[in-house]
Amino acid sequence: MRSMTRSGCIWVLLILFGWLVTAFSAVAQPSDPQPNIIYILADDLGWADVGFHGSDIKTPNIDKLAQTGATLEQFYVQPMCTPTRAALMTGRYPLRYGLQTLVIPASMSYGLPTDEWLLPQALKEAGYATAILGKWHLGHAKREYWPKQRGFDYQYGAQLGEIDYFTHSVGGKLDWYRDNKLVNERGYVTTLLGDDAVRYIGAQTAKKPFFMYLAFTAPHTPYQVPEEYTEKYKQVADPNRRTYAAMIAAMDEQIGRVLQALEKRGLRQNTLIIFHSDNGGNQSAHLAGETEVKGPLPANNGPYRGGKGDLYEGGTRVASLMNWPGRIKPGTVVDQMIHVVDYYPTLAKLAGASLSKTKPLDGHDMWPTISEGKASPRDEVIYNIEMYRGAVRKGDWKLVWRTTLPSKIELFNLAQDPYEKVNLASTNPERVLELQKRIDGLAGEMSKSLLLNEVFKGVTKGLTGKPPVLPDEDAYFEQAD
């Protein structure tokens, strides 16, 4: 009996010891390392102008990322460039801080308000090296708006929205910087950005995570590309479409170089890659920028209605993917609502970054939805709210409300009619009122448009020289009419 008791005690002690070792091991094991993040943004890319959406434009590197990762088939952005970039950087809809209207023109002095705590600032605070390569377009007139002052350790590229691909200038003025200093160099913009991305990755180590925001200007106007790329599309009859396709192919080639650089450096396995466009492909000559475009515009948004500048799906639902080896199952298709504002809390959570300094976010953490197939926490998308128009989606129902005279109200059920062909407003008055109330409520929270405020202020005071031009509302609504 005494022997059995001693034996039983020994077994109890062994069990306790084993439990303690297991518990200690669980505590002592390091948590998942912070992922490197490469965020790739295309400019004015059509929804249907990538291979994984059936395009005749060859995008093998983008397609491989889609096939070995997740495609996001209900991914939304703002209808224009500056608002989308602002939404990404803040995790908040641009209506909150006055960047909801058009883009920041070269003649304007405003920028993304400095009291917003931006994504690179949050990541830098969490131990990340941060870099922006490419287009900024969130403020250029004052240095306090520049990327180096907003959380980026390293900057290379353009401050404004549209530059010549070979001279790196807009309106005859050079707009090409490295770390706040003008750089006068030769080369095709898309290739230069790829070169710099490869150099940057080559300098990184596994000891410190990095966030690289690679914001291509392609395929935004002006339609320019080295001849070697157009040769691959000589069968395309339309010259604009031929050059546009070649510009996308050139961008895809540089993305391939980025992937190769990651593999060479041994960093690919722990690098999360995101890709999408800043808005739908452009179908309006009014919104082509400084460049005069002759002939038909080449972007293709597939079956979706409208394009850049529109509140319809063609202007706001864009080609998008996310790729992270071992963490996202290859071939994943996420057909749930996700908005660009969701990337701020999603990436912050993955990076272990604090949200304590942000203003109230409009975004949600979408990692469980993307990686595990869980239901999206988002049941609403705010397309945009401005003083003369607004659009919101609640569940499957979407209202597009133009308030300028003649006013126009359109209601769509996107589950039954994703291409917005049938206006159901007259047969669903209660649904219209519900969504109008939501838009009106958001309008009550809206900050004044910084663009319109500066334009009207200049007109009121009396301008010398050439005055700024008011937004051409017809450019917004020409397709709706």
C-alpha 459/C-alpha 400 separation (Å) is: 30
Q: Which residues contact 7 (CB under 8 A, 6 or more apart)?
A: none
9 annotated active-site? no
Could you tell me if 240 and 247 are in contact, meaning their C-beta atoms sit under 8 angstroms apart?
no
**How many other β-carbons are positioned within 10 Å of the β-carbon of residue 474?**
10
Give per-residue burial for 301-317: e unless 16+ CB within 10 Å, then b: bbebbbbbbbbbbbbbb
Query: Per the residue annotation, which of 137, 220, 339, 364 is the catalytic one?
Result: 137
**Bridge partners, residue 40, by sequence:** 214, 275
Return the structure tokens found at 392. Answer: 């919101």
Of 383, 382, 379, which Cα lies nearest the Cα of 312? Answer: 383
* Tokens standing for residue 32: 């998942």
The span from the CA of 470 to the CA of 460, in Å, is: 13
- Are 120 and 348 in contact by the 8 Å Cβ rule? The answer is no
Rounded distance between C-alpha atoms, residue 139 and residue 458, angstroms: 18
Give the Å distances, CA to CA, from 226 to 223, 229, 249.
11, 6, 11
- What is the 3-class SS of 164-179, one letter each residue? CCCCCEECCEECCEEC
Q: Nearest-CA neighbor of 398 among 412, 387, 415, 419?
A: 412
Catalytic residue among 9, 53, 81, 276: 81
Give the torsion sign (CA, 90, 95, 97, 103): positive
C-alpha closest to that of 346 among 330, 362, 357: 362
Residues 254, 418: Cα–Cα separation, whole Å: 33
**Total residue length of the chain:** 481
Amino acid 317 reads R
Q: Is 405 helix (H, G, I), strand (E, B) or coil?
A: coil
Ranges of H-type helices in 100-238:
119-125, 189-202, 227-230
Catalytic residues: 81, 137
